[in-house]
Every structure is written in C-alpha cells, then in structure tokens.
C-alpha cells in the first residue's frame, strides 16, 4: 500500500475532516491505487522545465481602489447556520 | 418534430414571426419535463413558476420589438452556477439548502438576453465525476438508454438537451465535464478557452481549470449562446480582457484552407472500435469538405496528462473546499463539543466519497515532504503539455480526436473503481491542462458494437484549437455537422 491508515487519518486531519474506521480502510485502498498510478510521472524528464500554475500568463490584475457597496449583511447571514447581532456565531474556540 | 425537440435558431424564428409565444414553448418544455423526469432525473430543481413568469416577460419584449436571439427560450442551468434566490446545490448535501445572494455573471448575461430558466440541472457533487452518479441526490439516466450514464459532471445539463427537457443548457468543464456528457448524450458541448467566460458565481472546483460553456442541439446554437456569455468581467480577475467576435460569422460550410491534425496519441488502448471508426469517417468527411489532414502531428506527453490532472485538480479543489466549515453557509453538523469538532463532522457528513477522495489526494500532494514529487512535478508536466499544443497549433488549425474512449457505460459499472472512472476522461483532460478550447459534436452511433447494449449509443468527436480560436472550432464543427445528419437524431423516449 502506497499510503498507511495512519497517513490517511493524518491527511484527513490536516484538512480538519473526520473519517470513520470503515472510511479509513476504504480510502487507504483506493488512494494507494491512485498514488501508484501517479508513479508514471517518474518516467517523464522535467529537468530544467519551469512549473506552470496558470494556463494563460497574467500579471497581477489591479483595479482602482474605489469604495463600492457590499452585499447587505442580512442577505449574507441568511445562509448562516447560526448568527447573532449581525455576526456569524461559532462555538467557543477556547474553553 | 415536437416543439421541445427544436433548436434555438428554429424556435427564435418562430418567436420572431409571432407564430409561437414563449409561454407556449415554455409550457411545452415543462410538460415534457413532467413526462420524462421520473425516468431521466436530469434536474435537481424545476422552476416552473419562475419560468412561466420569465416567458410572459419575454413575450412582452418580443411584442415591443426588443428581442435578442435567446429571448424567451427555455434553458437549464447546471446546479453550480449561482442563481439568486433559487437553490444552487452543487449536487451536494453540503449546499442542499444554499440560496445564492447574487447572480453569477453568466446568469446575469442570460437574464439580460431574456432567459427563461426551467430548472437547475443535476451533476456530480462539486463537479467531481464522469457519470453524474456522484450526485448526492440521485443519478441521471442517459436518454438514449436509461440503464446507462449520461456522462458527467454536467450529465444533467446534457440529458435535458437530449431529452427535450430544455432547448439549451449551461455546464462547466474542469477535465471534460461539458464535452464527455455531450458526447455520451449526442449533443454539442463547448469548453471555451480558459478566461473566455467569467467564472464569477461559479462554485469553484479547480480554479486554474474550470470554465463555463454551452450544451446545445447543434453548432449554430452553440455560437448563439457563446455570443451572450463570452467576454470580460472585472469580477473575475482571470477573465480575458479581449474583444469577443460574433461567433455566428464562423458558421461557414466548407473547410478550404483548413489544416486538421489527427494526433495518434489519442487513439488509446482499450478504445472502442466503433469510436475509432466514427472518428476516422469524420476525418474523411472533413477531407471531402476541403480540409488538409496532418497525421504526423504528435503530442508525446499525452499519456502523462491524466496523472498530472489528478494531482493539480485535487490540490486546487482542496484549497477551494476549505471554505465549507459549517459556519458561513451550507450544511452544519453541530453534534461535536467544540468548534473544531463541528467542522470535522460537517465535512465528514456534508461531503460524499469522491469529494473526500479528492480532498485527501490534494492535501497529500501539497503536504510537507510530498510537494516536490507530486504537485511541483505535475506543474512541470503541465508546461510540457502546453508547449506541445503550442507546437501542434503552429502546423495545424485544429486537432481532431475522440472525446471518450467508449460510448455511455452502465450505471454502477465504474462506481467501485475510482481509477477506472478517471480513465474515462483521458481524451478531454489535456485540453483543460493547456487552457485551450475544445468542442464535442455528434459523429455517429456505436451500431456495430459487439456488446449489444452499446448499439444505438451516440459517439462524439472532439475538435481543439489554440487559445481564443473558438472561431476555428466552430467553423470545422459547423461544416462537418452540415455535411452529416447526426445532429438531427433524437432519442426515442
């Protein structure tokens, strides 16, 4: 297996996502198969080739710093699971 | 032919001559939806009341002499394009109850042109998939054979067009998600050049690959929709600040002076004989129409594109999907004891399996110790793929290849094996990596297949061009289409 169960749990936790033990077992097997497939890239010579992060070359795109109206707070909070006095509400981060 | 089987340009003529009202046409499409949906399941949401109101408004515009080419024509919008006040689920439990507070740029453009939106089309969750089976709600069925997939991720959009449940549709394409379902459902689907259409209001999957485009019944309709949705938008910093040509000017019925490349790397092992034969027949037809054919053109890194894509796309997806935290919008699982636990459970229960797999692939590829071997390596391979396309377009105006190695596969056939599912995109993925435009047009049926279940299924032809050369694609696609009858076929449902 290209990836261990411990690594599957670690990667999920880097993303802050919980997984059940059944999921860990299933994803270990499936991700290993996919990571093995990725090894095909070892066969291609990329010595001295620059990386491409974006398909069309763009320099930083700037605009004038002019004030504009933003979306109304109540429209944005309408989709929030919990809100209070114009803010998103979350559980205590530090207890 | 029934009203719902007509193209945009056919109904637009009738609407302009006042032989038909948008209300009647919209009612005909809504009736068709009611009749077909139980079997096809192409929609997540049908917006009947909104559609009829928009149709009445369109009829007033037409009466006032203020009609545009798309005014009053019923369309389906893929359910990851924001429609203000209308649910935009992205095929996910995570966004099941999400009501966008704003319109996507393309929605705005279509509304200005007189859109009648009949519904939001089903899709693979977060556009991750090739069969629409990853929808959190239900899979869509292929109108040509209900036991088969419509392709994906824009499978719902393609199925609505094929089944007469819309006159045209919008989809999005990150690795083939417009072209592959268009091919499997026998319709026309264009992935424009990266930056040609604004992504503002498109739920993000992989930001350097995603692009919105049309799914239509023929090439003329494709040009008409492109005329409305293409163009610069300052709200998408990656949208190209270039003028948009009138794409209908490219609809020329001959190919004199056009050089067509047929790269052999795209005729992969395991490809269906019917697919190969249909593409070869299409190339001969193009030669008859005056095109010069170049079989020496080569794209040697094609075989590395799939691995390259499945590193880059999940890496970008993982960064984009980090916004689903159960706090700002979307599904929230509050069973945990702390904010962190809520977030972990929200993601565990809000995302489906394929989304989780890709999040983990991306997180792994970007994590300490693996970055150089995976992500950086894939970005370098991306450069090579792009350079090979640049060289190919020095000698050819367009490249012609298959879209999918096989016609539509059976529902459930590939769901247990993610890698097999990924391989169905092997011919479409290089296009997104390079950012170039490509179309799928119908080019035959798999009637000689040794597998009886495949007979009668549509086959698609892919035509690619250099960045922003959609006019070359549309010209070749149109000339080919006009010389054949494939685009006139409709499934018997």
Q: Do A44 and B301 touch (CB under 8 A)?
A: yes
Task: Say what the pLDDT of residue A91 is.
Answer: 85
* Residue A67 forms part of a structural domain: no
What is the percent of chain B with per-residue pLDDT over 90, rounded to a whole number?
A: 95
Looking at residue B156, its pLDDT comes to 98
Mean of the pLDDT values across residues B376-388?
A: 98
Q: Tokens for A22, please give them.
A: 């059944």
Among candidates B304, B343, B360 on the partner chain, residue whose Cβ is nearest the Cβ of A40: B304
Cβ-Cβ contacts under 8 Å, B419 against chain A: 30, 33-34, 37
- Structural domain containing residue A37: 5-43
- Which of B99, B339, B386 is closest, CB to CB, to A55? B386
For residues B59 and B67, the answer to whether their CB atoms sit within 8 Å is: no
Dist. CA B387–CA B383, nearest whole Å: 6
Radius of gyration of chain A (CA): 23
Closest CA to B223 of B252, B181, B258, B251: B251
Contact A81 B318 (CB under 8 A): no
Closest to B172 measured CA to CA, from B90, B103, B237: B90
Please tell me whether the interface predicted TM-score (ipTM) of this complex is above 0.85.
yes
Q: How confident is the model at residue B453 (pLDDT cuts 50, 70, 90)?
A: confident
Question: Is B78's pLDDT higher than 70?
Answer: yes
| Residue A69 sits at the chain B interface (C-beta within 8 Å) | no
B468 to chain A, closest Cα gap in Å: 11
Contact assignment for B356 to A95 by CB distance below 8 Å? no
A12 part of a folded domain:
yes
Tell me, yes or no, whether A94 lies in a domain.
no
Domains in chain B and their CATH numbers? 3-250 (3.90.1300.10), 259-488 (3.90.1300.10)
Q: Is A58 on the interface with B (CB under 8 A)?
A: yes
Mean local confidence (pLDDT), A69-93:
93
**How much is the mean pLDDT over chain B?**
97
Point out the residue among B98, B208, B301 whose CB comes nearest to the CB of A55: B208
Q: What is the CATH number of the domain that holds A12?
A: 1.10.20
Q: Answer whether B386 sits within 8 Å of A23, measured CB to CB.
A: no
Q: What is the pLDDT of residues A25-40, one digit of tens each?
A: 999 999 999 999 999 9
Supply the pLDDT for residue A30.
Answer: 96
Q: CB distance A50–B301 less than 8 Å?
A: no
Give mean pLDDT, residues B149-160.
98
Cα(B84)–Cα(B219) distance, integer angstroms: 29
Catalytic residues of B: 78, 153, 177
Q: Assign residue A54 a region (left: φ > 0; alpha: ψ between -120 and 50; beta: otherwise).
A: beta
Domain count, chain A: 1
Residue A25 maps to a domain = yes
| Residue A36 placed within a domain | yes
Specify if A10 maps to a domain: yes
Considering only CB atoms, B101 lies closest to which of A44, A55, A71, namely: A71
* pLDDT of A95 strictly over 70: no
Determine, yes or no, domain membership for A93: no
Q: Which residue has the higher pLDDT, B177 or B336?
A: B177
pTM over 0.90: yes
A94 touches B at CB < 8 Å: no
- For the segment A9-25, the average pLDDT, to the nearest whole number, is 98
User: How far apart are the CA of B140 and the nearest CA of chain A, in angstroms?
Assistant: 25
pLDDT at B335 over 80: yes
Which residue in the block uniquely carries the two structure tokens 């002019």? A66
| pLDDT above 90 for B116 | yes
- Confidence band of A1 (pLDDT split at 50, 70, 90): confident
Asked if A91 lies within 8 A of B234 by C-beta distance, the reply is: no
B202, B80 Cβ separation under 8 angstroms:
yes
Does a structural domain hold residue A57?
Answer: no
Average pLDDT for B357-373: 95
What would the two tokens of residue A78 be? 């309408």
d(CA B277, CA B280): 5
């Amino acid at each position: 297996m290209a990836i261990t169960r411990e690594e599957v749990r670690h990667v999920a936790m880097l993303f802050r996502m919980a997984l059940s033990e059944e999921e860990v077992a299933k994803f270990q097997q499936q991700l290993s198969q996919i990571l093995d497939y990725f090894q095909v890239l070892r066969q291609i010579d990329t010595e001295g080739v620059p990386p491409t992060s974006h398909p069309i070359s763009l320099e930083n795109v700037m605009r004038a710093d002019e004030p504009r109206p933003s979306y109304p707070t109540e429209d944005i909070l309408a989709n929030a699971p919990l809100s209070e006095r114009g803010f998103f509400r979350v559980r205590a981060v530090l207890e | 032919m029934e009203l719902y089987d007509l193209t945009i340009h056919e109904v637009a003529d009738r609407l302009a001559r006042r032989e038909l009202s948008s209300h009647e046409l919209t009612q005909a499409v809504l009736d068709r939806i009611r009749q077909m949906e139980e079997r096809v399941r192409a929609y997540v949401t049908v917006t009947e009341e909104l559609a009829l109101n928009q149709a009445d408004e369109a009829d007033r515009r037409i009466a006032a002499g203020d009609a545009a080419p798309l005014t009053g024509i019923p369309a389906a919008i893929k359910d990851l394009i924001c429609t203000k006040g209308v649910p935009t689920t992205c095929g996910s439990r995570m966004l099941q109850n999400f009501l966008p507070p704003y319109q996507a740029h393309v929605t705005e453009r279509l509304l200005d042109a007189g859109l009648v939106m009949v519904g939001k089309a089903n899709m693979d969750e977060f556009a991750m998939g090739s069969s629409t089976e990853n929808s959190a709600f239900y899979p869509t069925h292929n109108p040509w054979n209900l036991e088969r997939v419509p392709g994906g991720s824009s499978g719902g959009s393609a199925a609505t067009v094929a089944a007469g449940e819309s006159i045209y549709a919008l989809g999005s394409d990150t690795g083939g998600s417009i072209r592959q379902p268009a091919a499997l459902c026998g319709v026309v689907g264009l992935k424009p050049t990266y930056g040609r259409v604004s992504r503002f209001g498109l739920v993000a999957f992989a930001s350097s690959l995603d692009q919105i485009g049309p799914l239509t019944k023929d090439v003329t309709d494709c040009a008409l929709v492109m005329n409305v949705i293409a163009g610069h938008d300052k709200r998408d910093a990656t949208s190209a600040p270039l003028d948009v040509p009138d794409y209908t000017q490219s609809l020329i019925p001959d190919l004199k002076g056009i050089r067509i490349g047929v790269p052999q790397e795209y005729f992969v092992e395991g490809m269906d004989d019917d697919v190969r034969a249909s593409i070869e027949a299409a190339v001969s037809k193009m030669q008859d129409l005056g095109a010069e054919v170049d079989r020496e053109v080569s794209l040697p890194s094609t075989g590395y594109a799939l691995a390259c894509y499945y590193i880059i796309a999940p890496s970008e997806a993982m960064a984009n999907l980090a916004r689903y935290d159960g706090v700002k919008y979307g599904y929230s699982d509050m069973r945990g004891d702390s904010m962190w636990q809520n977030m972990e459970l929200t993601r565990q229960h809000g995302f489906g399996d394929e989304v989780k797999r890709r999040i983990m692939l991306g997180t792994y590829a970007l994590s300490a110790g693996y970055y150089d071997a995976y992500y950086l390596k894939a970005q370098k391979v991306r450069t090579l793929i792009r350079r090979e396309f640049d060289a190919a377009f020095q000698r050819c105006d367009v490249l012609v290849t298959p879209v999918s190695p096989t016609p539509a596969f059976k529902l459930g056939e590939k769901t247990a094996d993610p890698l097999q599912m990924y391989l169905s995109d092997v011919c479409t993925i290089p296009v997104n990596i390079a950012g170039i435009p490509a179309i799928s047009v119908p080019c035959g049926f798999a009637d000689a297949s040794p597998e009886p279940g495949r007979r009668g299924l549509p086959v698609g032809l892919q035509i690619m061009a250099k960045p922003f050369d959609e006019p070359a694609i549309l010209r070749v696609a149109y000339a080919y289409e006009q010389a054949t009858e494939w685009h006139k076929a409709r499934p018997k449902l």
